[in-house]
A and B are shown apart, each in its own frame.
Chain A
């Protein structure tokens, strides 16, 4: 049963909401991202915003955070209408925002990034550069962070560390309203705990915290209230709600099961892919074996060698040691072109589809056919009719929502963009798929489509190597999960021992001397 929606102000409260959106609308080109959406968060609460990608959550945050102006509607702060001229103006109103796109300056130090705009100055107004690092150190230590060096360049620290610095920069200004758009997308459990501890502190001090997330467990663990968005407007606000009910509200459809069950793996003579004697991050020698029809999960904390493994199997760049065997025969993969070659048929769906996967301004069709241009060309000239036919078939097969095949792929929603990426490799007839966090930043409905697709592809005989930052996904979708730690395989988990908790436990365990 769906819990009854509650009114926007909790009962017994006499104060106006700390921040409220009153019938905000925003359009981008022809797309209506927000349609007269209303929302309110009170002081001293943690309020989660959930919804599919494209439902309007990020746009709402951008409006409330002053990043974009609304087309119509008003924003109220403590009951007073305000107009925000920019993020700096929002900060002046006590609104601090951590947007999804990190705003760290890569070639400036962590200290410079943390203190930008509030640097220690001399009497003449010049910045005291020598004081920057010590100040930043103190700031970080105060929040329980000791492992990030303020003298390091922002580009030299890990993605998770960058996200933490971004968060620190905002919360250190003691905002009365804290907006977080997907703050945990790059963080692992321990770091998420740290963030939630800070959020609880802020809540105790009376700050209104609003955050968006796709991870249901996180939402239920910390949110006081949950507002569900669909199609650019709010659908309801709840204090408790079951995940399946929430999904129904988010998508307007019933979803019976979250994860399809993996089909049994057919017995084959040779594993589809076998890696022996490889090293990741200069650690110990590891190996793995992947069978046709198998979905093999790779788990573990970020930075433990996952990227190196996936990119290495694809030849981008190749692994430093080790032998790769495809169908039992040793092969040499020196570049992605080698991996993609018809004889090997390896595909990689990379971490960041926008910067590593897709060519955003180019049409969907061009993106779909990019790896198979040689097959589609005769004497160097592309056979247009064949290309049009193949891309049309793939768009239909994967139900990619696009007005036409010539639509620039950048105009599609995140989920559909991911489908284009997957479709590209299906067109290339790849039979070994390396999927790196394919559901990241994808709305829940499309996630399910991807799960179904993965299971179906495995049942058809494809071999899938799957990394996900979502341990639930790993636990439910995969036949087996290898947990990486410090560049070696810390554990191999198979059902019934395979569960999200087991993966996390294996990932965090102390290393034993071998």
Chain B
């Protein structure tokens, strides 16, 4: 080969493949490790209290309680990957939760139809966000702040007072109180994520988050990609609203409000970078479970519940600082 570029003087040393995988997935791996640590911590606390390890009941209720947040976190992480952020999460959940409480009646077919309709409504909410961000070129944080208000208003219109009812059959299907079958839904979501990552759209989402102008130069349609990302997010928030309704067996048009900022915490703990282009929805799921575990640990450690937010906030900062340090070390600063 004429003019070979690799000439002996520059020793072509390659870092071992494992180092690359580790460095580039540091966020996800760290999230999984923290999750493992928090599960062990929780099990230890529980055992000290109850003289036994957490059993089926504890696992099932933990899973069921975390399902809404986990699903929301997946959606939020997809939006964040495009270097966006979605503050309307709470509003979409409010709306879909309210609709679920009212519409989920009748037979199985009707309920399936209603569920699909609700997910589509969530996607439509995402479409609004996506159009304003992708086509209108407005900043995500302010757009979703405004649409949050709109969706909250719609939710209150639909269900002015907490009420409605969710049939027990529906609850059993989504958040079976006896077995952690809800994990199957998470598994489906993870498979969906893996497929997304290996699709044209997924590459586009990561590319936009890395560097939008470069992605456009490479042929990625920024507008369509962003709209798709927000729509997927919206659909997932709607699914979370359904889980929430199933869990609570009734509806409340303000129940989703807390999820906005909590979903960001879950996404950050999951190693997804807020500036876009880096991270995994699997990490976001881990992040959701970590937040639940922390609450459980605080409970079993008999920490005064009034101080709960203090420890959560402290944990968040420490986890982020720690994660950044590890990530830098593993990637090996040049």
- A-side residues, CB < 8 A to B, are 67, 86-88, 91, 99, 101-109, 112, 116-117, 119, 125-129, 143-147, 149, 151-153, 156, 164, 190-191, 193-194, 196-197, 510-511
Known A-B contacts A103-B214, A151-B17, A194-B5; A127 and B199 likewise in contact (beta carbons under 8 Å): yes
Query: What residues on B are CB-neighbors of A125 within 8 Å?
Result: 199
Question: What is the minimal beta-carbon distance from A368 to any residue of chain B, in angstroms?
Answer: 29
Point out the residues of chain A lying under 8 angstroms from B5, CB to CB.
144-147, 164, 190-191, 194
Contact of A105 among B10, B14, B214, B219 (CB under 8 A): B214
Specify which chain B residues have a CB less than 8 angstroms from the CB of A128 in the assembled complex.
198
- Tell which of B58-66, B67-75, B205-213, B248-256 binds the partner: B205-213
A146 x B334 contact (CB < 8 A): no
9 A-B pairs with the lowest CB-CB distances in the bound complex, closest first: A146-B6, A88-B219, A103-B214, A197-B3, A105-B210, A126-B198, A127-B198, A151-B20, A144-B1
* CB within 8 Å for A149 and B14 given contacts A103-B214, A190-B5, A190-B7: yes
Given contacts A105-B214, A108-B206, A117-B218, contact A144 B12 (CB under 8 A): no
Is the CB–CB distance between B218 and A116 below 8 Å? yes
Shortest Cβ distance from residue B59 to the other chain A in the assembled complex, whole angstroms: 32
Q: Any chain A CB within 8 A of the CB of B331?
A: yes
The 8 Å CB contact of A146, one of B3, B12, B20, is: B12
B177-200 interface mask toward A, CB cutoff 8 Å, 1 = contact, 0 = none? Answer: 000000000000000000101110
Cα(A175)–Cα(B40), bound, Å: 57
22 contacts between A and B (CB under 8 A): A87-B218, A87-B219, A88-B218, A101-B214, A105-B211, A105-B214, A107-B209, A107-B277, A117-B218, A127-B199, A129-B197, A144-B4, A145-B5, A146-B6, A149-B20, A151-B15, A153-B24, A156-B334, A194-B3, A194-B4, A197-B2, A197-B3
* B→A interface (CB under 8 Å): 1-7, 9-10, 12, 14-15, 17, 20, 23-24, 195, 197-199, 203, 206-207, 209-211, 213-219, 273, 277-278, 331, 334
A136 to chain B, nearest CB (A): 13
- In the complex, residue of chain B having the shortest beta-carbon distance to the beta carbon of A90: B219
Q: A67-B217, A126-B198 are in contact. Are A106 and B211 (CB under 8 A)?
A: yes
A310 to B46, CA, bound (A): 58
Instruction: Give the CA-CA distance A151 to B219 in the complex, in Å.
Output: 23
CA distance A153 to B6 in the complex (A): 19
Determine the chain B residues whose CB is within 8 A of the CB of A102 once the complex forms: 214
Neighbour of B214 across the interface among A104, A126, A164, CB < 8 A: A104
Of the candidates B9, B211, B215, B218, the one whose C-beta lies within 8 Å of that of A510 is B9
* A103:B218 contact, CB within 8 angstroms: yes
The reply to whether A87 and B211 form a contact with Cβ atoms under 8 Å apart is no
Contacts of A105 in B (CB 8 A): 206-207, 210-211, 214-215, 218, 277
A164 to B5, CA, bound (A): 10
Select one of B6, B9, B15, B278 contacting A145, CB under 8 A: B6
Contact residues in A for B277 (Cβ distance below 8 Å): 105-108
The chain A residue with its CB closest to the CB of B332 is A156
A384 to B1 Cα, complex, angstroms: 64
Known contacts A146-B12, A152-B15; 13 further A-B pairs (Cβ under 8 A): A87-B217, A88-B218, A106-B210, A108-B210, A108-B277, A109-B24, A117-B218, A119-B203, A126-B198, A146-B6, A153-B331, A156-B334, A191-B5
Expressed in whole angstroms, the Cα–Cα distance for A86 and B218 within the complex equals 9
Query: Are the CB atoms of B219 and A86 closer together than 8 Å?
Result: yes
Which residue of B has the minimal Cβ distance to A88? B219
State in angstroms the CA–CA spacing of A329 and B215 once bound together: 51
Whole-angstrom CA separation of A258 from B5 in the bound complex: 33
Please pick, from A106, A144, A156, the residue contacting B6 in the complex, using a CB distance under 8 A: A144
The CB with the most chain A CB atoms within 10 A, among B14, B15, B17, B213, is that of B14
Residues of chain B within 8 A (CB-CB) of A91 are 219
Whether A147 and B24, one on each chain, are in contact in the complex, defined by CB atoms closer than 8 angstroms, is no
Report the separation of the CA atoms of residues A105 and B214 in the bound assembly, to the nearest whole angstrom.
7
